[in-house]
Structure 1
Amino acid sequence: MDASTPAIRLRALTKEFGAVTAVDHVDLEIQPGEFFSMLGPSGSGKTTVLRLIAGFDQPTDGTIELFGTDVTARAPFDRDVNTVFQDYALFPHMSVLDNVAYGLRVRGVGRRERLGRAREALASVRLADFADRRPAQLSGGQRQRVALARATVVQPKALLLDEPLGALDLKLREQMQVELKQIQRELGITFIFVTHDQDEALTLSDRIAVFNAGRIEQLGTPAELYERPASRFVADFVGTSNLFDAELSAALLGRDGEHSVRPEKVQIARGDLPPSGEHRAEGTITELIYTGSATRIVVDLDAGARITVLEQNDQHRGDADARGDRVVAAWREADVVALAAADAPEPEASARP
């Protein structure tokens, strides 16, 4: 296999369920060793694409290649991938070690070898001391790592993860995001991660495909998607954006078309302090939302737009703001992002990093 061969290549992949097109002619390449996320709301097609790659569903049209081999018609067990689901699906009557070794047992690997490899897999997820426990004796994060060990012990070329962190509480979820990325780097396996959580995708991924209505709306690195969203949908779904329609763009920016500005790019000036930025607009504070490390300030501009400003709660920020205060909002020209028109043809997504 050539070193430039993608780990996964999808060509015009389509899946229809009756009159509903769940996946609409998706073209995509994922590179070996990449942590790749498919992000989108419910019903956007991301999970269906994952199931098509795994072989759980058959496409209506198009092809699926794994490391240069067409596997479109192959059964799930005949594809060199493994899947981790949100519910983990561990066997409650088996020990952790036997759960991890199960896939090797099914493949006919001898007892000594499979138990040795299972212990190595548990060590890779830092659970070597838990081999004799049952799943019920583990925390949610530990069960998630057991599921990862079980999926990776058979040494698949790619690992498919269907919202595996969805059942965890927020703090454990954030901890597991860091651990999951470390595990992926240590194993060097291609990870394909499905999530509807944009913060999770931004944290974990080398690249992200944002799905909408069965198609890829934009494909790029986390920084590219956040800093330069290609459409109103991406700007609104990936993070929080202040969105200006054509009328507001003309009034506030002197530009045609739709535009966006991220809340942390906007500054507000109070009293006699001069605002910083080429674009300025007067308004009234209508809400203050304290979030710990930052405060979200909602401002109704006189021009008719409602915007959000994100200010860090550092030693320079006072507590004198109140609803009803008059302020000037300002932002730089360089931070204004032009958004593609809704009826414009979507650019073909490049698959190369």
Structure 2
Amino acid sequence: MTETQPAIRLTALTKEFGAVTAVDHVDLEIAAGEFFSMLGPSGSGKTTVLRLIAGFEQPTGGTVELFGQDVTKRAPFDRDVNTVFQDYALFPHMSVLDNVAYGLRVRGLGRKERNERALRALASVRLEQMAGRKPSQLSGGQRQRVALARATVVQPKVLLLDEPLGALDLKLREQMQVELKEIQRELGITFIFVTHDQEEALTLSDRIAVFNDGRIEQLGTPAELYERPRSRFVADFVGTSNLFDVERSRTILGRDGHHSVRPEKMTVSRGGLDQPGVVDVPGTVVEAIYLGSGVRLVVDLDDGTRVSVLEQNDRDRMHDDERGDRVVVSWHEDDVVPLGIEALPGISG
């Protein structure tokens, strides 16, 4: 193994369930120590890829390599990976310490050594003081951290996380996102994270693969995916976009093809900005939605195109818009993103 050897390499990975192709010739490399997310809607193939890496499913075709070793045909217990599931799967009759030490016990380590290692793992998730409690005495976030400690105590080369925060409420979920990233950075283990929540993927990841219909639609950093989506699907799934089809791109933007503009790149004013490189289009406010940190305005442009504008709720916002108000929506030409010819059918503006 060399320093440049990827932690995971998938080559033409394919999985068919009868007539359904769940994973369609996926090629992917994930670097050692990377926090990598697989993002996509239900049925896009992301969870199946995770199960193929773990060994819970066997591929119809292609290979799975772990640090240069072909593990395609190996059983799950014969791969140096571990998995954290959404339901945690903690043993309710065992203490937190015994839950974390269980994997070491199965591997034959003596009680003293496994307890010492389990306590260190609990310390890494800041729960060593909870070692003597039962899972039922912990909060949802604490149980999630115990599951992480149990998965990392055996020191796997790769940790697989299958929507592990899905059962938490919003505030706890946001807190756990920060903690999860800190834990990954401290441990230095490759994390492969599956989620359908695009904000979660953007928050946590070094890189993201966006899945659609069993294939990777786009691969890149969070900033690359958000700022420069290559297709209509990615622009619409990763965040919120104003999408312009060929006709509206031509009439409103003066460009050929499909394009998108993010809501926060647009502004609303009474008379327009009238600046070089800025597009000013009149319209009527359909809805004004107060979000606390900002205000989302839904505006029908005069040609019938509906756009969403996100304005920050700060002291520079000098007016309150209401339904029926006449406004001018403005955006800079540099913020218009061209979308590839693989854009999905249908028109949205």
SS of the residue 2:105 aligns to? helix
The residue that corresponds to 2:93 in the other structure is: 93
Which stretch of the first structure deviates more once superposed, 335-344 or 293-302?
Answer: 335-344
Paired residue type of 1:124: S
* Residues 1:213 and 2:231 are matched in the alignment: no
Alignment map for 1:1-12 (pairs within 5 Å)? 1-12=1-12
Paired residue type of 1:274: L
- Supply the distance in 1 between the matched residues of 2:22 and 2:172 (Cα, whole angstroms): 32
* Residues 1:39 and 2:30 are matched in the alignment: no
The residue that corresponds to 2:139 in the other structure is: 139
Shift of 1:317: 1.5
Alignment map for 1:180-191 (pairs within 5 Å)? 180-191=180-191
The residue that corresponds to 2:347 in the other structure is: none
Paired residue type of 1:130: M
Shift of 1:170: 0.1
- Supply the distance in 2 between the matched residues of 1:318 and 1:171 (Cα, whole angstroms): 31
The residue that corresponds to 1:337 in the other structure is: 337
- Supply the distance in 1 between the matched residues of 2:22 and 2:203 (Cα, whole angstroms): 27
The residue that corresponds to 1:156 in the other structure is: 156
SS of the residue 1:101 aligns to? helix
8 Å Cα contact 2:278/2:332 also seen in 1? yes
Shift of 1:275: 4.8
Which stretch of the first structure deviates more once superposed, 309-318 or 213-222?
Answer: 309-318
8 Å Cα contact 1:251/1:303 also seen in 2? no
8 Å Cα contact 1:46/1:194 also seen in 2? yes
The residue that corresponds to 1:243 in the other structure is: 243
Q: 1:143 to 1:343 in 2, by over 3 A?
A: closer
CA RMSD of aligned residues (A): 1.1
Q: Which whole-Å deviations, capped at 9, do the CAs of 1:18-65 have from their partners, x for residues lacking one?
A: 000000000000000000000000000000000000000000000000
- Supply the distance in 2 between the matched residues of 1:237 and 1:264 (Cα, whole angstroms): 16
Percent of aligned pairs with the same amino acid: 78
- Supply the distance in 2 between the matched residues of 1:261 and 1:74 (Cα, whole angstroms): 46
The residue that corresponds to 2:196 in the other structure is: 196
SS of the residue 2:154 aligns to? coil
- Supply the distance in 2 between the matched residues of 1:43 and 1:305 (Cα, whole angstroms): 31
TM-score if structure 1 supplies the norm length?
A: 0.96
Q: 1:307 to 1:104 in 2, by over 3 A?
A: same
* Residues 1:305 and 2:300 are matched in the alignment: no
SS of the residue 1:259 aligns to? strand
- Supply the distance in 1 between the matched residues of 2:319 and 2:273 (Cα, whole angstroms): 19
Paired residue type of 1:24: D
The residue that corresponds to 1:274 in the other structure is: 273
SS of the residue 2:102 aligns to? helix
Aligned residues: 343
Q: Which whole-Å deviations, capped at 9, do the CAs of 1:207-231 have from their partners, x for residues lacking one?
A: 0000000000000000000000000
The residue that corresponds to 1:18 in the other structure is: 18
8 Å Cα contact 1:23/1:48 also seen in 2? yes
The residue that corresponds to 2:68 in the other structure is: 68
The residue that corresponds to 1:348 in the other structure is: none
8 Å Cα contact 2:281/2:330 also seen in 1? yes
8 Å Cα contact 1:268/1:275 also seen in 2? no
Shift of 1:243: 0.2
- Supply the distance in 2 between the matched residues of 1:46 and 1:28 (Cα, whole angstroms): 12
The residue that corresponds to 1:105 in the other structure is: 105
Shift of 1:320: 3.0
* Residues 1:116 and 2:113 are matched in the alignment: no
8 Å Cα contact 1:36/1:191 also seen in 2? yes
- Supply the distance in 1 between the matched residues of 2:104 and 2:214 (Cα, whole angstroms): 36
Shift of 1:318: 3.5
8 Å Cα contact 1:242/1:308 also seen in 2? yes
SS of the residue 1:48 aligns to? helix
8 Å Cα contact 2:232/2:343 also seen in 1? no
Shift of 1:195: 0.1
Q: Which whole-Å deviations, capped at 9, do the CAs of 1:309-346 have from their partners, x for residues lacking one?
A: 000000122453111111111111110000001279xx
- Supply the distance in 2 between the matched residues of 1:303 and 1:210 (Cα, whole angstroms): 33
The residue that corresponds to 1:351 in the other structure is: none
TM-score if structure 2 supplies the norm length?
A: 0.97
8 Å Cα contact 1:275/1:329 also seen in 2? no
8 Å Cα contact 1:45/1:214 also seen in 2? yes
